[in-house]
Structure 1
Amino acid sequence: MVFLALSLWIAAASPTPRSGPPQAVPQAPSDQYPSEEALRRYAQGRLLEEEDEPTAALSEYYRAFHMDTRSVRTAQRLSEVSARLGDAQQSLEFAEKALAIDPGSARALWLKGGALFNLGRAPEALPSLQAAVAADSEQTEYLSTLARVAEGLDRQDIAARAWRGVVGIDDRDGEAWFRLAAAEARSARFEAAKRALAEAVSENPDRPGALFLEGWIEEGLGNAARAITLYQQHLKLHPRDDATRRRLVGLLADARRSSEAYREAQIVSRTRPGDAEAIGVEADLAFKVGQTTEAGQALERLARLAPDDPENVRQRVEVLARNKRGRDAIQLAESWAAGHPGDVRGTMLVARARFLSGDREGGLADARKAVTIAPDSLAPRVLLGRFCQVAGRWDEASDVWREIRRRDPTRTGVGLDLAYCREQAGDLSGAEQAARDVLHVEPEDPRALNFLGYLLADHNLKLDEAETLIRKAIEQEPDNGAYVDSMGWVHFRLGRFDEARKELERAASLTGSDPVVCEHLGDVYKQLQLNDLAREQYKKSLAADHTNTRVRSKLYGLR
């Protein structure tokens, strides 16, 4: 059989006799061999590879390539075997030789990308791997390599497309389905992630990590109770998974299941005794469940990690202030400031302690003082801007955000804060301009797209543009409840009440019945004359925000 295959190869490589004058030999990629010896060496190399003798195979390929330096096939084998032997630099060298002969070779592009990745040059590897897939999208090894490199670079959009390509070729590849689900979840495409995970589990029900991923997806879809159950099941199998336990702590705390959250937080801090964040969470929850002695002990452990570090002091100040220990928080901040005279961080600590303890005027005064002490630093200005915004000092907050934006135009988040404060101050045109300024710098920023779209829709302006903007945001994050709410509100403004109902019911599910979403959904039900449903949504909105007089009036206005 081997002899027959070799004979056929030789026949295919033999030149066909031609009549007429001799022609110049074209310098094109060679899959032919100038001698039977070169072909024999190549064939021997392939046999040695099959016999798991890569070093000996490499020697044969060297000889074959020496005899025919225009052979793409031999250069590719040299690159591939070198990679197999762990020599990424040599693999790259021969991949580039193959590409010098045939720049469009998909396999050579793939080999080059793999070699670059193994050399720690992932950003350079990505374009080669994308080119390989563009040249030949039917090879799952090309697609999966591209996907894994993209994952490492946090290019989840590319990773998801590549994994979709893999399962499009082999829909029984459970691992590819799982990786696709993870990529979709990281891109906040939770409905797509849920579908992909269902396929993965059908192929491999016991795949490690499936419970966690399902929990993460359910969390993203607003199903907190289901996510809690899944995380708990995952932790029974993987009790040392601190990352999942941290997520569980957060969900339990948000659900006001403080006792359970505290028990889980204790486990995290015991397994990570040097983790300041974990200890801070434990202390905070201890206060919330009435374990004041344990809370104090946790704060002492936190202090011992770095007693003089201002970040450590900030954590302790915030825990104390949030839990009605304002006097202790202020005393701690003032003590650090007294020990570091002239350090603006001390003034900022005192400002934070006062503001969070309820002395907003004192906190604002200290924040302004911090700006005066360090006028060239952005940190005090950010603190002042945040305090002004929380306190409803819209004009002052706008001035602060505008100055920060002037100093650093790349801070898109600050630009949106500026837009929000201007809107709250009644400066609608100024808010619109601030949002457009952000989009001028980051035209695809989904937050800015949604902000401007919702701003226009909420004020019943430029509704066609608003719909376009929000749709662009949703294309990037289709399961973002805030964006879905915005789309529902655009439909409402346009009088498309059935479409609005569909979007807003989904938004309510995604956000766990956010009070604004519930109000919007109540308005839609009212327009559809579904007053019982409207009443239910207004009550949900008020349960989350009992100070909202607008919603209360809507509720009382229902017959």
Structure 2
Amino acid sequence: MQVRSERTFPMWLGRLRTLLWGIPLLVVSCGTAPQLTLQGQESSIVLREVSHPQAYYHFLRGSLAELNNDGPKALEEYEAGLAFDKDSIFLKFRLAKLHFSMAHITEAVELAKKIPVGQVSNAAMFLDLAKIFAGAGDTGQALQVLTEGERQFPQDERMYLSHGTLLLNMKEFQMAEAVFHDLLVHLPGSAEAHYYLGIIALEAKTKQEAKEHFQEAIVLNPSFERAYLKLVALSEDEQDPQQAIELLEKYLQEINPHHREFRLRLVRLFISQHQTENALGHLDYLLQQNPDDLHAQVRKAQIYGEAGNFPAAIEELNAILRVRPNELRVRDFLGLLYEETKDYERAIQMYQANVAIDPTFFDSLLHLGFVSYRLKRNQEALSYLEQAVKLNPKRPEPYLLLGLTYFQMEKYQEAKAKLEEGIHQDPSNAELHFNLGTAYDKLDRFDAVVREMEQTLELDPEHADALNYLGYSYADRGINGEKALSLTQRAVALKPHNGYYVDSLAWALYKLGRIDEALETIQQAVSLVADDPVIYEHLGEIFLMREERDKAREAWLHSLQLDSTNEALKKRFRDSGFGEPIPALSHQSTLTP
């Protein structure tokens, strides 16, 4: 035992001596980690405030525990030290700060209140005490602490910034403004003061003043990122994207060419201005710096895709997948691009590959359902979409596509049921209500059609399809003529080049007896949609009302050429004295202006 004691005691003593000698260095080096130690000249504070040897010993053990991320042990040691030195401001503060970092807010505040602010002689202590009080919601006490801190340390910028930003968070803009102006009195070169005065000016809607403060902040601190971003945002808000571009380019050229977020912001601006070559150039720069920058790679593909250069976009995404085959969102995007090129089989392969890797990948299941619906592979569509519903029953898209698939299968009751399930999950979804209305139309439930269309328009007053559908439904039934006219006019105003909407408007005018206007309008519809049988059927009715029988006959023959199954029109043709309808090549030029 004697031998073991002689060997272990010097090792323990050596460790303690190392800790004692290293305390000043330890404290200074950890000053940037506010959860563990104070900033500044903590060692002198320790020696002054923790004068009792046993208290100092426990302080050292507590500090070591903090460095080892052992919060409970550190609390135990600091409390033990406080038992030897009950009046130690430093140990009370250290305990309060540690409690606060461990979310023991009540304990932290109780200890902080026991510290006489007038006896605090370290700027960092003021800042941390204010942080504790503010974090506990006692902003009044926090403000008192910071005011005293400013009095004792009038040249410490941090004191004013903490004071001013706390007031900003409290929406006390005038008081905050006074604090930042006071900071400029003591430190005229404070870029931060100008930055926050700019923020206050923005709140007051004085944009020019805000701009001047942000510009001054950059003069004082040329690398001040936040000030640059505020000026960029102001330029965008003022619809001056070129100014925003110049600001970002200046920063990248003069301050930091490797700032990724600034360069991506610049890319976004170039895209908004349709300057795709410039956007691609900056993305290429990012990829030169980091060839594995996934965001930049995908952004390039998006730019190519939006420009209609689908082969280039597809090549970009395939290049990513060759290196990162498990990037499911990239492959899903690739599937969408294959859809754009109408290469549906490859799109399906992409989505199926994703589902094979991750059967819970919702987006690819949804897209499989959509492509299958589009290709009229209805049973496959139903299977994929039901899986999607099970994965995410709150999302409206699978219910909508299930409804459309059943609609395509002419199973209107099932379509109605699925759309109603979707509305149960998402009552404010206008598309679900609209499509439910169309299902009710197929079920001869006109009262329900009106209800759902009106609900759609309540949710989205500019839902052009609903405006057209309800307006045409009224006109075709010969009811609510003025309302039908108003609804179809609103639809056409939203989409003036939609020939079907223009036809609905013409039909509403016809039903109101405004025949000349109806003819002029439906001829516009014919010029927009040259191959719709219903439009030509309506055109024939309008010509017949004008007693232009030859033109009426020709319009109806052309309608039957487009849809030879329209038995009702064949009967109307015979009943009008035109004989047996035998569709032939239509001389369309005689039917249009």
Q: Normalising by structure 1, what TM-score?
A: 0.47
Q: Normalising by structure 2, what TM-score?
A: 0.45
